[in-house]
Structure 1
Amino acid sequence: MTKEGPKYVGYRMIIVFFTVLLATVVIKTNKEFDSLNVFSPTKELPIYSVERKDKKIAISFDAAYGDEYTIDILDTLDKYKVKTTFFLVKFWVENFPNRVEEIHKRGHEIGNHSATHPNMSRLSPEQIAEELNSTGDEIAKITKVKPTLFRPPFGDYNDTLIREAKKNGYYTIQWDVDSIDWKELGTQSVVDVVTRNVKPGSIILFHNNAKYVREYLPLVLERLIADGYEIVPISELIHKQDFKIDSTGKQIPIKQ
């Protein structure tokens, strides 16, 4: 057996010390990382589309400004026997109560689109609740049905908005197919964008006062129906419970 010199023993002690120190740092870091994973709040997401095995899709109209084409839209939807969802702003409801009643009477779903059309992510929880509830009450006053779907103006949202909407009885709904009818690029542009991007479970965004809505709507409906899609109101498309939402906003049912 050889005798270890003081210098050799010193080196060994230094190596052991740094090995223990490194192990301690790694363990502590891993614990902190796990703790962050456990306690970090989950990112809240609205529903952009729905995972479905059938070919159901939904069409929606946002109504905030103007009413020039609403009856024409309703007549076209009647012609093709299609039911959709209209998201209404409170001041639109107040300005056009007869239209709200007509939309409801013809069997279409009415959703909440806020009271004043603000950027909702800038509001406090109390302000969000006021936007939602005052609009919901105004709609229910006419239709006798309180809406359960909410679409934030401009598609603007944050975690607080999603949580407050849920607390007040609303599913927050976005879209995965923007018709870009608001860009006023013409009829064919809308038809092409919608028909190229739609897929089972899609939610399509239109506007009730878009410039070419009377021209593009029948063409879009004919193409979608010919392609085998079944168009339903959003509440018939989404899952009401036992679901998760992936990072793209797709609502996916949780198998029991």
Structure 2
Amino acid sequence: MKIVFFTTISKKLITGICITAGMLIIISSFLLSKYVISVNLVEKNYSPIYSVETNEKKVAITFDSTWGNNNTIEILNILDKEGVKATFFLLGKWVDEFPEETKEIYKRGNEIGNHSDSHPSMSNISAERLTKEITLGDEKLRKLTGSNTKLFRFPSGEYNKDLVQVVERTRHIAIQWDVDSIDWKEQGADIEFNRVIKNVKPGSIILFHNGAKYTTETLPKIIENLKKEGYSFVTVSELIYKDNYSIDHRGVQKINN
């Protein structure tokens, strides 16, 4: 009788443990699935890269080439003299007008990015039109340099989440800037110099234009000043992270921990 009673109690105990364990598994699975679903519903921050989070004192100088008269060769001579490589975002129609300057940019070891073909307004552009703009720009650049572009800069810096996704589908990385010389306003060499120096930090992307009046005057001074402060200069592709990164709401690219 004692043995039977013990066996009966043991069976009931084991059954209760199994039921409890089963319920815990079901509850855990349910909670885990809700967590996974919640994580999957978190929207990716579709933003261009404005700057890079880094402890290294390195920055990228960029130029937008759009139309009209330009100082490209003089800028290239300054960069060569200073031992600096920059990234040039070229408009397709600018490339049509200045094919030799385009080839010279590439020949001298600078990086070339896509700036669209015709600089259309981004406020009401369709995905199809933007894709065509990028494709046409790439075709013209590839014809002259034999190389494909990896970077894209929105005309006038205007974009939205949907347009960033279009750029990604064309296998380009959208690049903005966090330091703007505003040289196109041509307010004066000292104003442009101080504006840049004041705002530069490690990981900055600096914006100039190859057709602005004072850029060739301020550029060597800015480079020399930043060199004295311990900065080095890299192209945008050398500055940014290629994988395992995120971009925060400010457009700062960071390595995921």
When the two structures are superposed, what TM-score results if normalisation uses the length of structure 2?
Answer: 0.83
Distance 1:200 1:40, change over 3 A: closer
Unaligned runs of at least 5 residues, structure 1: 1-34
Distance (Å, rounded) in 1 between the aligned partners of 2:41 and 2:243: 24
Give the one of 105, 108, 111 matched to 1:106: 108
The answer for the alignment partner of 1:51 in structure 2 is: 53
The answer for the alignment partner of 1:182 in structure 2 is: 184
Give secondary structure in 2 for the equivalent of 1:58. strand
Distance (Å, rounded) in 1 between the aligned partners of 2:167 and 2:181: 25
Give the one of 240, 243, 246 matched to 2:245: 243
1:163 aligns with 2:155: no
Deviation at 1:199, TM superposition (A): 0.2
Deviation at 1:36, TM superposition (A): 9.0
Which aligned pairs between 1:70-109 and structure 2 lie closer than 5 A? 70-109=72-111
Deviation at 1:43, TM superposition (A): 3.9
Distance (Å, rounded) in 1 between the aligned partners of 2:93 and 2:189: 28
Deviation at 1:120, TM superposition (A): 2.4
Report % sequence identity: 47
Do the aligned partners of 1:118 and 1:153 also contact (CA within 8 Å) in 2? yes
The answer for the alignment partner of 2:26 in structure 1 is: none
Give secondary structure in 2 for the equivalent of 1:122. coil
CA deviation digits over 1:23-56, x for unaligned, max 9? Answer: xxxxxxxxxxxx9996474441110000112111
Distance (Å, rounded) in 2 between the aligned partners of 1:185 and 1:240: 37
Do the aligned partners of 1:115 and 1:132 also contact (CA within 8 Å) in 2? yes
CA deviation digits over 1:86-105, x for unaligned, max 9? Answer: 00000001111111000000
Do the aligned partners of 1:53 and 1:200 also contact (CA within 8 Å) in 2? yes
Do the aligned partners of 2:45 and 2:249 also contact (CA within 8 Å) in 1? no
Give the counterpart letter for 2:56 in structure 1: D
The answer for the alignment partner of 1:196 in structure 2 is: 198
Give the one of 202, 205, 208 matched to 2:210: 208
Give secondary structure in 1 for the equivalent of 2:89. strand
Deviation at 1:161, TM superposition (A): 1.1
Give the one of 229, 232, 235 matched to 2:231: 229
Do the aligned partners of 2:114 and 2:153 also contact (CA within 8 Å) in 1? yes
The answer for the alignment partner of 1:22 in structure 2 is: none
